[in-house]
Structures are given as structure tokens and as C-alpha cells.
Structure 1
Amino acid sequence: MKVNTQAVNFNVNQELLDFIQQKMNKLDTFYDKVIKSDVFLKVENTSDKENKIFEARISVPGDSFVVKKQCKTFEEGVDIAVASLERQLKKRKAKLRAHL
């Protein structure tokens, strides 16, 4: 799966990009009709420790899923968001099977 990653107001290292690509690729095992995925990484200028925002948008035929998580690290946000997307994709696949 091709993952378009955009980092807002900072430079992202290759290690994080590889981690995101690896996690997003796992979503293909749950639903293979993913058209594209966009990932946005943002850092808020606040004094909170949870100032990293991970947002993922996945497009599937006829629909799209958006997950936005705010955490201490981007890795934590990726893990939580991918788990949420996994549940959504499984639910969509079950619905499609029920209509057949």
C-alpha cells in the first residue's frame, strides 16, 4: 500500500516513515481493497506532553475512514490509530459479506 506522509512544521526521519509504512501495510491483511492512505503528522506548540498528533485517512471504494490520535510519541499514535482502523475495516468487510 502506498502511504502518503506529510509532516507539518517539522522534518520527519526515515526511521519513523518506515515504521508508519510497516504498520499501515498490515491493514492490507484485513481489507485488501484500500485505494490510498494519507498520513499527517503534526506537533502542537503546547506545554502538554501529549502534543504529537497522528492523523490517518484511508480511502476504500465508496467510503473513507479517518482516525486522529494525540499522544506523547508518534509511534504510540500510530499503534493506537492502526488498531482503530483495523476494527473499522473488519466491520466494513463483515457488512459487505452480510449483503452478499
Structure 2
Amino acid sequence: MKLQVHSIHFDADKKLLEFIQSKLNKLDTFYDRITGGEVFLRLDKGESSKMKNKLLEIKINLPGGSLFVKEIGRTFEEAVDIAIEALKAQLKRFKEKLQEKSNATREVLTTMSMAMES
């Protein structure tokens, strides 16, 4: 999958970028028509805590639509794992809707062909 990763106000290391790419490549097993995606990495500077939370946004492009997920974690790896699970669920729902549409179209075509034959 062609993936663009944007790290906002910091430089992401190569290991993190490879981790993100490998995790997102696994989404192809759920839906092989993914055309690409964008990942945004941000550091959330909370006033109350000295530790910075990691914000992750992923947008996946598909024929006929796109999927989006936004997650927060203590590390980017944790946020990626959570986001992947959310994207898997979204991909499954997307595929179900596509299948429902194709089944409805097939039924209409079958009905029309039967009507023409009579």
C-alpha cells in the first residue's frame, strides 16, 4: 500500500515508520483494493502531565470512499495497534455494505431479465 506518513513538529525515526507501514500492509488481507493512505503523528502536550500523549490519525483510501480513525496512546506503537483494530472493523462493515449493494443489483437484474423473457 502506498502510504504517506506526516510527523508534525518532530522527526519520526525509521523504525517507527517501518512499524506503521508493516501494520497497515496487513490490512490488505481484509480488503485488497486499498489504494493508499495517510498517517499523521502528533505529540499532545498536556498541561497536567509531564508525559506527552501520542496522537495518531490514519486515513485509508478505497474505491468509492475512505476510512478514518483517530487514536491516542502512550506510545505511537500502542496507538497504531488500537487504530488497526478499529480499521479492521470499518473494513468489514465497508465490505458488507458493498456486498449488500451488489446483491441488490443482482436481484434487480434478475427480476428485469425474467420480466423481459415473459
The question of a shared fold, defined as TM-score above 0.5 by the shorter chain, is answered with: yes
> When the two structures are superposed, what TM-score results if normalisation uses the length of structure 1?
0.93
Partner of 2:42: 42
Q: Which one has a larger percent helix, Structure 1 or Structure 2?
A: 2
Deviations 1:36-65 (A, max 9, x none): 100000002222646100100011112111
What is the Cα deviation at residue 14 of structure 1? 0.5
Name the structure, 1 or 2, with higher relative contact order (CA <8 Å, separation 6+): 1
Would the aligned equivalents of 1:42 and 1:54 in 2 still touch at CA under 8 Å?
yes
**Equivalent residues in 2 for 1:49-64, closer than 5 Å:** 49=51, 51-64=53-66
2:41 partner amino acid: L
Q: Distance in 2 between matches of 1:40 and 1:26?
A: 19
Identity %: 45
RMSD: 1.2
Q: Distance in 2 between matches of 1:50 and 1:91?
A: 33
Deviating 4+ runs (over 4 angstroms): none
> When the two structures are superposed, what TM-score results if normalisation uses the length of structure 2?
0.80
Question: Any idea what SS the aligned residue of 1:10 has?
Answer: coil
Question: Any idea what SS the aligned residue of 1:38 has?
Answer: strand
Question: Any idea what SS the aligned residue of 2:31 has?
Answer: coil
**Equivalent residues in 2 for 1:16-95, closer than 5 Å:** 16-46=16-46, 47=49, 49=51, 51-95=53-97
Q: Distance in 1 between matches of 2:73 and 2:60?
A: 20
Q: How many residues align?
A: 100
Q: What residue ranges of structure 2 are gaps of 5+ in the alignment?
A: 103-118
